[in-house]
Amino acid sequence: MSIKSDIEMYTEMASVRAKSIVSNSKFLSNEKAEAGKVIEFAITVIIVAAIIPAALVAIFGANTTGWDAATIAIWGIIGVIIVAIIVLMLYNTYGKKAAGGSRRQRGGF
């Protein structure tokens, strides 16, 4: 065999091997988050982190004089409820996609 044919043979073998690795790669498959989704999630977190403190300051700075005790007690937990809702929204938007679908699709409840 000549050197040229050896080089061509090894080049072909490397090409076939590379194609099999890339086609089996979980990184390039739909099972992992795409780069766009990661960037979208990061931007969402940055925006939420910038807006929520100002909203919570406005909520907790409200004048509650003249309100009854029950209303004041409910008003005090609104901040926690808002944060919980945001976390659940982010999980429903990004968590299920990264985990491979909904629980129902994975055999859960």
Give the global pTM: 0.46
Q: How far is CA 94 from CA 17, 37, 69, 97, 101, in A?
A: 33, 8, 39, 5, 10
Asked if residue 98 lies in contact with residue 26, where contact means CB atoms within 8 angstroms, the answer is no
User: Residue for token digits 């086609």?
Assistant: 23
* pLDDT for res 16: 77
Structure tokens at 14: 């490397």
What are the pLDDT digits (tens) for 61-75?
A: 888 889 999 888 888
Average pLDDT estimate for 84-89? 87
Query: What is the amino acid identity at position 103?
Result: R
pLDDT level of residue 109 (50, 70, 90 thresholds): very low
